[in-house]
Amino acid sequence: MLRSARALFVVALGWLCLASAAQAGPILSTGPYVVNLPPDGQYQVSGSVDVGGAGYIYTYTVTNLTQVQRAFELGIAEDPALFGLYSESNPHVNPGVGELLRDQPALIHYGPDIHNYAFTHVNGHVRVGISVAAGQTQTMSFEDPHPPTLTDWELRERSPHGAQRKNTQLGLGQLPAPSGAAVVSTVGAPEPATLTLAVVGIGGLGLGVLRKRRRPQADA
């Protein structure tokens, strides 16, 4: 009986460690995708989602794989159900300057009601794109309470040349974006209440093992 209780205690403790590790890493990750834009642009694009304090942290990276400084825009087609809601918070581009524009139907023509994000930089009311040096990576992110889904995207080069390609044209996979569902979920990771119950259960198993060890000594 003591061996069984001890084995169960070890298994439960291992499950808790794995569950905690699962919460620490990204819950969704896609890419990296290599994007070639004519005549000589080459980029690497990826996206991931982590659990954040206000829901989910959406992160995208664009790396300039050439030896020439360039300026780009990253457009992401979001769920039409979120059109005009602007539920995103704390958008930023690091390093460098740039901003997140919402509801940009001209960037990706997937449908008249598609809600599109556009990471770019605006100078004097003109979209000039986010500057990225040779070999440099730009990281763009925002936080949103809606759980992720995978959707289409587009990379546009503003300088030194003007060119754009959708992921469907390139035969590449999708990137994460908030879905229309309003329920905050950790997408398979245990909820805090579940982890609390697990801690209580493991603590109970540990106490049971200790009591079984002490009982023969007390009887003696």
- The residue ranges of every structural domain in the chain are 2-21+190-219, 28-178
Whether the CB-CB separation of 132 and 145 falls below 8 Å is answered with: no
Compare 18 and 119 and report the one with higher pLDDT. Answer: 119
Task: Enumerate the H helices of the chain as residue ranges.
Answer: 2-24, 167-170, 192-219
- Is the domain spanning 28-178 CATH 2.60.40? The answer is yes
Tokens of 126: 């003109």
| 155-193 per-position pLDDT tens digit | 999 999 999 999 999 999 999 999 987 544 444 444 333
For residue 214, the tally of other CB atoms under 10 A from its CB is 10
Tell me the residue type at 83. F
Q: How confident is the model at residue 200 (pLDDT cuts 50, 70, 90)?
A: very low
Region 88-93: mean pLDDT is: 93
Tokens of 95: 């390093």
DSSP 191: P
Q: How confident is the model at residue 3 (pLDDT cuts 50, 70, 90)?
A: low
Could you give the C-alpha distances from 63 to 39, 81, 91, 123, 204, in angstroms and in order? 17, 31, 19, 22, 50
Tokens 């023509």, located at residue: 109
For residue 148, the tally of other CB atoms under 10 A from its CB is 23
Using a pLDDT cut of 70, give the percent of the chain over it. Answer: 66
Whole-number pLDDT of residue 96: 84
111: region left, alpha or beta (phi > 0 left; psi from -120 to 50 alpha): left
Three-class DSSP category at 220: coil
| pLDDT reading at 220 higher than 80 | no
Q: What sign does the CA torsion over 76, 80, 81, 86 have?
A: positive
- With a threshold of 0.75, does the pTM exceed it? no
Region 11-38: mean pLDDT is: 69
Whether the CB-CB separation of 108 and 164 falls below 8 Å is answered with: no
Whole-number pLDDT of residue 174: 95
88 closest CA partner among 73, 98, 78: 78
| Burial class of residue 139, CB neighbours in 10 A (0-12, 13-18, 19+) | middle
